[in-house]
Amino acid sequence: MRAPSSIDEELPLEINDCVAILVALTTSTHDWHREVFQSVLSDLLGQIRILPSVIDNVRCLLERELSVPYCPQWRVSEMEYERRKRLVFLCLRDINGAIDNALNAGQFEHS
């Protein structure tokens, strides 16, 4: 899969905002702010369920934004940063599987 050059411009504003906030929370909040991070991740997953055709662009954008190595100046610990990144991509994998299952069952169309 090749990412479009302007992925963020192709995403609906609500989803683009969720991605930007999720990236910021992944790198910029203290370890104990897990509930805020989890809330935004849940919101993004909810937006993807509403508009499943964006999943590939969301994944490409998050891969690009979260591929940076840990920076010691961030408020989050390295272990928590890696945990958050792993959780984001596990959730995307799970929702992609759910979308594929729904497509196979004919529940909605993937555009």
Which residues 6+ apart lie within 8 Å of 88 measured at CB?
A: 22, 26, 41, 62, 66
Cα 53–54–56 angle (5° rounding)?
A: 100
Q: What is the pLDDT of residue 6?
A: 56
Q: What is the pLDDT of residue 60?
A: 94
Contact 58, 44 (CB under 8 A): yes
Q: What is the pLDDT of residue 2?
A: 39
Q: What is the pLDDT of residue 3?
A: 44
DSSP category for residue 52 = G
Threshold 0.85, pTM exceeds:
no
Q: What is the pLDDT of residue 99?
A: 87
Q: What is the pLDDT of residue 9?
A: 59
| pLDDT tens across the length of the chain (111 residues) | 334 445 555 789 989 999 999 999 998 888 888 899 999 999 999 999 999 999 999 999 999 999 999 999 998 999 999 999 999 999 999 999 988 888 888 766 555
